[in-house]
Amino acid sequence: MNKRWLILATLAVLGAGLGQAQVFTWPQKWTVAKPGEATPGGVLVGSTISDFRTLNPFTTAEATNIPTIMANGVGLARYDPTTAQQIPWMSTGWTVSNNGLVFTFDIRKGMKFSDGQPITSKDFITTWKIQADEKVGSNAYDGWYIADKPIILKALGDYKLQATFPSISATALEQMSFTPWPDHIFGPVYAKEGADGIKKMWSLTTPPAQIVSAGPFVLSGYRPGERAEFKKNPYYGEWNKDEQGNPLPYLDGQTVLIVKDTNADLAAFLSGKTDTYAPSTVDQVSQVKQAIGAGNLKATLKVNASPVASSQFIVFNWNKADNPFLQMVFRNVSFRRAMSELTDRKAAVDLVYGGLGFPTYGSVYPVLKQWVDPNIPRYEYDPKAAAQLLASIGFRSKDKDGWLVYSGSDKQFQGKRLEFTLTTNTGNNQREQLAQLFAKTAKEAGVKVNFAPVDFNTLVGQLLAKGDNRPFDAILIGLSGGGLAWPFGQNVVPCGTNLHMYNKSGSCLTPQETLMTALYFKGNQTLDFKQRVQIGYQLQQTEAQLQPIIYIAGPAYNPAWNDRTGGNHPDSILTATWGSRETELTFIKK
């Protein structure tokens, strides 16, 4: 066996005997707290500006959601933030065989769900089967296929799990680090009712007492539009401990307040109602600084710790069978390049983020600097160049109101005004400002943009709609994340995937889409890091030429926390990649 494929657990493993959990020990170096400083108890309070859509881990799609908060990323492996290497977590180790195609995991014994039932290979198998069922509509669906060929999981006993990949995958460990959900709850329903039964489970009206979690927390209460409350999973600390042997998490629970907008989010932190906050504009940073300086708020603020692992962008809908004119326009690459040249990224950074931000030109976020191709084509703000591009596709004259109208070769569209509606989610002040800024710069070139913010859940529903006739023109939204092994989204880049947002017809419509899909899988199947980076560069070049999505900007990461909250990361790992803290090691000072 090739030695590089043999990865063994390096953290403490205790008590493999019957009934005694094999312990994952959380390194002290992941926190600034001194050994023994942390005190158990207390509730960490955070916030979100969008209400929750469901409690169902298989159908949730929004970035901040209840299943994710409960699970807190628990899976077979995780990254060590001090080394950026994968280490065992819900497994005690793994081996790789058959030329890198077969991964065999030893599942950590003694783990339990919040209802006391043991976590075994059955839970991983059931979770995989449900996520890999296209009829369920899980956001995780695309990750279980490589070039349409499935990853196959098999239980080799209660505490051994085997995953067979159809081809080499550089992101195999990231894919296998998924959170298991209870077979004893979801398994019988799936066996009897299939996808339809799963989609009906764990709605917002499900009593919290029926919700079960493998992670450090479990839902204890939910009040729509007000808050979600989580209590400690009483069994999590049996297999998660600090270096002194204390069970984790230290916290008794978490509360997430649902606030109406970003102003309310800031106000909640300034008034001490929430413990953590990340100001993203100079005004927000200034207000936090002033409150700290005046002694009105005892908190810590780290300005410009790193770029964020996210970006805001505009996506145009290529699937508008009910409006052939706009469909023709949106599918035209010269139109999209013109829209990029009408995007004033510098103004976005200055006006929306107060200078504490970064312009973005592609899908790889600036914080992942080892992956960003510095030579990708950039369509900088240039209204004159945009006007020339629009003229080249038939928008050469204006109507009496000053808006561009079509006078190209397609007679059926003669005289039609270049007008579309741009939506984003209400309450997100920064997105609203970005959308209004774009509408203003577009107007200068004669393009009429009608800004119409909608409820976040409505927005997500529109974005995820499939087929040839989707219910929106253009959406301003953002994505976050990006893997360290391969930063391109497995459910974003390939045609037909759930977040291939501009074209949800089910198949590629352009040669560039086809090439980007092929490059995604080629990179994912390349183990040599330097070669993988070069493939990533080629993918970024192709994307920049196609301009399927108009990337705008992202804020700097400026984490802040109330000083009653302990256990934050050392400055060396306090970045948007790793966040400000490990929730398990967070504590409320007495």
Query: What pLDDT sits at residue 10?
Result: 33
Compute φ and ψ for 549, nearest 5 degrees.
-130, 135
What percentage of the chain reaches a pLDDT higher than 90? 87
Closest CA to 302 of 559, 555, 577: 559
Decide if 491 contacts 481 (C-beta within 8 A). Answer: no
The Cα 492–Cα 477 span in angstroms is 14
Domains (ranges, CATH) in the chain? Answer: 3-34+56-199 (3.90.76.10), 208-302+557-588 (3.40.190.10), 310-482+548-556 (3.10.105.10)
| 14 pLDDT more than 60 | no
What is the overall mean pLDDT for the chain? 93
Decide if 493 contacts 500 (C-beta within 8 A). Answer: yes
**Beta pairing, strands 549-557 & 357-359:** antiparallel
**Exposure b/e, 353-382, CB count within 10 A at least 16 = b:** bbebbbbbbbbbbbbbeebbbeebeebebb
The Cα 463–Cα 502 span in angstroms is 9
* Residue 496 DSSP SS3: coil
> If you average pLDDT over residues 61-86, what whole number do you get?
93
The Cα 213–Cα 253 span in angstroms is 13
The distance of Cα 32 from the centroid of its chain, to the nearest Å, equals 27
Name the residue with tokens 């529903």. 461
The Cα 361–Cα 222 span in angstroms is 39
| 31 pLDDT more than 50 | yes
Please state, as a whole number, how many other Cβ atoms lie within 10 Å of the Cβ of residue 291: 19
Decide if 468 contacts 383 (C-beta within 8 A). Answer: no
The Cα 484–Cα 79 span in angstroms is 9
> If you average pLDDT over residues 558-582, what whole number do you get?
96
| 429 pLDDT more than 80 | yes
| 3 pLDDT more than 60 | no
- Reported as a single tens digit per residue, the pLDDT across 154-213 is 999 999 999 999 999 999 999 999 999 999 999 999 999 999 999 999 999 999 999 999
Query: What pLDDT sits at residue 2?
Result: 34
Q: Would you state the structure tokens that stand for residue 310, as one six-digit string?
A: 């996210």
Residue 20: pLDDT band with limits 50, 70, 90? confident
The Cα 537–Cα 108 span in angstroms is 39
| 572 pLDDT more than 90 | yes
**Beta pairing, strands 565-566 & 587-588:** antiparallel
Query: What pLDDT sits at residue 18?
Result: 40
Q: How far is CA 212 from CA 113, 267, 349, 487, in A?
A: 7, 33, 42, 31
Q: How far is CA 237 from CA 196, 246, 425, 568, in A?
A: 35, 8, 38, 20
Q: Would you state the structure tokens that stand for residue 355, as one six-digit string?
A: 């200078």
The Cα 283–Cα 59 span in angstroms is 36
Decide if 33 contacts 249 (C-beta within 8 A). Answer: no
Residue 19: pLDDT band with limits 50, 70, 90? low
Q: Would you state the structure tokens that stand for residue 464, as one six-digit string?
A: 């995820």
The Cα 58–Cα 492 span in angstroms is 18
- Reported as a single tens digit per residue, the pLDDT across 323-371 is 999 999 999 999 999 999 999 999 999 999 989 999 999 999 888 888 9
**Beta pairing, strands 24-26 & 240-242:** parallel
- Reported as a single tens digit per residue, the pLDDT across 87-131 is 999 999 999 999 999 999 999 999 999 999 999 999 999 999 999
Closest CA to 94 of 189, 8, 155, 208: 8
Tell me how long the chain is.
590
Closest CA to 91 of 102, 75, 73: 75
Cα torsion angle, 450, 456, 460, 462, sign: negative
Q: Would you state the structure tokens that stand for residue 532, as one six-digit string?
A: 């993988």
Query: What pLDDT sits at residue 296?
Result: 96
Q: Which amino acid is residue 428, in one-letter code?
A: N
Q: How far is CA 536 from CA 277, 340, 450, 516, in A?
A: 33, 22, 36, 10
Q: Which residues, listed in sequence order, are joined to residue 253 by a DSSP beta bridge?
A: 43, 231
- Reported as a single tens digit per residue, the pLDDT across 282-312 is 899 999 999 999 999 999 999 999 988 888 9
- Reported as a single tens digit per residue, the pLDDT across 378-400 is 999 999 999 999 999 999 999 99
Strand order in the sheet with 7-8: 7-8, 91-97, 102-107, 160-164, 152-155
Closest CA to 208 of 189, 226, 231: 231
Query: What pLDDT sits at residue 310?
Result: 84
Decide if 163 contacts 143 (C-beta within 8 A). Answer: no
Global pTM reads: 0.78
Residue 11: pLDDT band with limits 50, 70, 90? very low
- Reported as a single tens digit per residue, the pLDDT across 236-281 is 999 999 999 999 999 999 999 999 998 999 999 999 999 999 998 8
Run of H or E including 124: helix 121-131
